[in-house]
Amino acid sequence: MISIKVAIFEDNKHLRESLYYLVNGTDGFTCTGAFADSNDLLFKLKRSQPDVVLMDIEMPGMNGIEAVKIIRKQFPGVQVLMQTIFHDDDNIFNAVCAGASGYILKTTSPAGYIDAIKDVYNGGSPMTGSIARRVLDLFQKNIIPAGNNDYQLTPKEKEILQQLVKGKSFKMIADVLGSTYETIRTHMKNIYTKLHVNSNTEAVSKALQEKIV
């Protein structure tokens, strides 16, 4: 039977050893490394050849988030399960951005730890409902500012704006849309008025940031 190889990065000695024994004491799991910091990260990874890395997000020296970035870059196949004490939005956000595959709290039960490790190994992203909610919130706030942006742009105006965002000049836009240069200019004037801007860069900026395009 194959065993899921787990590497542990956790600066707290007690927790690290507890996790070590938990992993090694569970059928189907092997702890191939338990480290107090992520110095010589690549060396440690090459040594332990883990399938799953259990990474403490708060660590002295290189923090867990930096470590995740490196791991994901150098060992794309390795799943990283972040563990943390706090429900810290910034950390969650950064960890998710860095490429963490799961996010659990240190208050998780031993059985929960094992389940989570198994889940990330099988391509899942275990996280508590409350953490998932924060991820969704972050998603909706940071990624989809959406906002109540209704500038009443006509289809033509949106089309022109899209072309502008692509970096096209008025002349080029006139060409691709089969209109005259002057016509495009007229539309642009109307767009400026509707968006309350007064330059092409401002229009592009607003269009992108408010996802009008």
- Regarding 77 and contact with a copy of itself (CB under 8 A), the answer is no
Tokens, residue 98: 């860095």
Structure tokens at 63: 């923090």
Residue 189 binding result from DNA, a copy of itself, none, given CB thresholds of 5 to 8 Å by partner type: DNA
Stretch that binds DNA, among 30-38, 76-84, 132-140, 149-157 (CB under 7 A): 149-157
Give dist(CA 98, CA 93) in Å, integer: 8
Q: What mask of x and - would describe binding to DNA in positions 93 to 132, judged by CB under 7 A?
A: ----------------------------------------
Torsion sign over Cα 8, 11, 17, 18: negative
The residue among 152 and 201 lying less far from a copy of itself, judged by its C-beta, is 201
Assigned token pair, 99: 């490429």
Q: How many CB atoms lie within 10 A of CB 4?
A: 21
Verify binding: residue 189, DNA, rule CB under 7 A.
Answer: yes
Measured from the CB atom, is 70 or 197 closer to DNA?
A: 197
Q: How many residues bind DNA (CB under 7 A)?
A: 24
Nearest to 71 by CA among 32, 33, 34, 98: 98
In angstroms, the CA 75 to CA 7 distance is 13
Contacts with DNA, residue ranges (CB under 7 A): 152, 154-157, 169-171, 177-183, 185-189, 192, 198-200
